[in-house]
Amino acid sequence: TKVLLTGGSGFIAAHILEQLLAKNHTVVTTVRSEDKAAKILEAYPEQASSGALTVAIVPDIAKPDAFDEVVKFPGLEVVLHTASPFHFKFTDPKKELIDPAVIGTTAILRAIARSAPSVRRVVVTSSFAAIMSEASIGDSNTVFSEASWNPVTINDIHNSPATAYRASKTLAEKAAWDFVSDPSNGAKFDLATINPPMVFGPVVHYLSTLESINTSNARIVDAIKGKWREEIPSTGQALIWVDVRDVAAAHIKAGLEIPEAGGKRLFTTSGWFSNSEIAAVLRKNFPEDADKLPTEETKGGELPPAGDRFGYDNSKTTELLGIQWIGLEKSVVDTVKSLKKIEA
Ligand code: NDP
């Protein structure tokens, strides 16, 4: 199958790329810079020379015509759109988060509708951020599922950096569903979204450095660098997680392998996690790092009791995808092993 994967240098996308090539698909992936293009091509010399892998530069996804050329790759069948900002280092949330997320999503859908008639399915990487609602995080009567929508609006983007990020994901996903449901846009493809909560898991060595670690693995880097020694920080609001290899597999299943995924939001989730559970996994598996890790007595980072946190139900997704979600211990251990490898 011929697949267009946007943001191929990303934490999640690097795993999607690896799994697609392992399954002998033909991939065109986009990145922002020549430097990242070169790193990806170097990592897959065989596929680069056989034409199974092409890397295209799309410098700014916030331009409405950003994807007009790359979608013309002959015979494209599936598009996986993962590129979207996920960081909190912005000063202007509208310009740096909302625009690349929302314009980037509509730009690629419009370009496909106009110029890529062979595309049958588009998968957009959305998020639990588009499912949850900040007001209900502590409410045990709330059950977040594939049917839930974050009520956040553009007017909320100055509330906090996290709220701005959640708005970018919610508005981008809404824009995607609106696009395919409006017949005047002429889409001949259907849509599926992948909505993961916090994603942990190994980083691919050819793209990553400890200094520029992806946002969701940053807490594990902090823990192994000794920043949790005195006190384990709060787990935050997400409280549920999934392994990056499962998220990558979900994109491929939804895009290429499971026709019934069309029209669905897929809530890919392994289960609950807390920073104190991550600390326990680290202590058990990396005794050689004991001097940097929190001890059994170190306080903080506990999961709130069941009565003080939201409920969730992703059984429809688990059933449709048939994925046995990787567990927290394996995920955290494999993450740390990958971090040690890039540090070495
Ligand atoms: P990364 O930061 O590793 O990847 C983000 C990707 O988007 C990179 O390829 C990045 O390019 C690209 N990108 C970001 N901003 C821009 C921009 N302004 N213009 C062009 N490209 C841009 O994060 P993840 O892999 O974790 O995120 C991938 C997707 O998954 C995102 O859509 C994110 O919202 C979503 N997601 C992630 C979760 C997580 O916990 N990790 C949870 C739920 C959803 P570059 O490499 O050049 O920076």
Complex ipTM, two decimals? 0.99
8, 32, 202, 206 from 38: Cα distances, Å: 12, 11, 21, 10
pLDDT at 235: 97
Find, among 123, 130, 247, the residue nearest to 180 by Cα.
123
At position 252, the amino acid (one-letter code) is I
pLDDT at 285: 98
pLDDT at 286: 98
- Helices 275-285 + 328-343 axis angle, to 10: 60
Whose C-alpha lies nearest to ligand 1, atom 4?
A: 10
Q: How far apart are CA 69 and CA 214, in angstroms?
A: 28
pLDDT at 184: 97
Query: Under CATH, to which class is 2-135+142-200+243-270+311-325 assigned?
Result: alpha beta
pLDDT at 344: 84
pLDDT by position in tens, the chain (length 344): 999 999 999 999 999 999 999 999 999 999 999 999 999 999 999 999 999 999 999 999 999 999 999 999 999 999 999 999 999 999 999 999 999 999 999 999 999 999 999 999 999 999 999 999 999 999 999 999 999 999 999 999 999 999 999 999 999 999 999 999 999 999 999 999 999 999 999 999 888 899 899 999 999 999 999 999 999 999 999 999 999 999 999 999 999 999 999 999 999 999 999 999 999 999 999 999 999 999 999 999 999 999 999 999 999 999 999 999 999 999 999 999 999 999 88
d(CA 85, ligand 1 centre) in Å: 5
d(CA 190, ligand 1 centre) in Å: 23
d(CA 202, ligand 1 centre) in Å: 15
pLDDT at 343: 86
Mutate to test the pocket of ligand 1, among 58, 84, 331 (most ligand atoms within 8 A of CB): 84
d(CA 192, ligand 1 centre) in Å: 18
pLDDT at 58: 97
pLDDT at 86: 95
Look up residue 234 and give its DSSP letter. Answer: P
Q: How far apart are CA 220 and CA 183, in angstroms?
A: 45
Ligand 1 nearest atom to the CA of residue 198, by list position: 40
Q: How far apart are CA 99 and CA 21, in angstroms?
A: 31
Q: How far apart are CA 64 and CA 112, in angstroms?
A: 12
pLDDT at 133: 98
Ligand 1 nearest atom to the CA of residue 32, by list position: 47
pLDDT tens readout for residues 182-237:
999 999 999 999 999 999 999 998 888 998 999 999 999 999 999 999 999 999 99
d(CA 128, ligand 1 centre) in Å: 14
Whose C-alpha lies nearest to ligand 1, atom 43?
A: 127
Question: Hey, how many other C-beta atoms are within 10 angstroms of the C-beta on 118?
Answer: 14
d(CA 15, ligand 1 centre) in Å: 13
Q: Which residues line ligand 1 (CB under 6 A)?
A: 7, 9-13, 31-32, 36, 60-61, 82-86, 100, 125, 127, 169, 196, 198-199, 214, 216
Whose C-alpha lies nearest to ligand 1, atom 36?
A: 127
- Give residue for tokens 């240098």: 9
Q: How far apart are CA 22 and CA 339, in angstroms?
A: 23
pLDDT tens readout for residues 243-277:
999 999 999 999 999 999 999 999 999 999 999 99
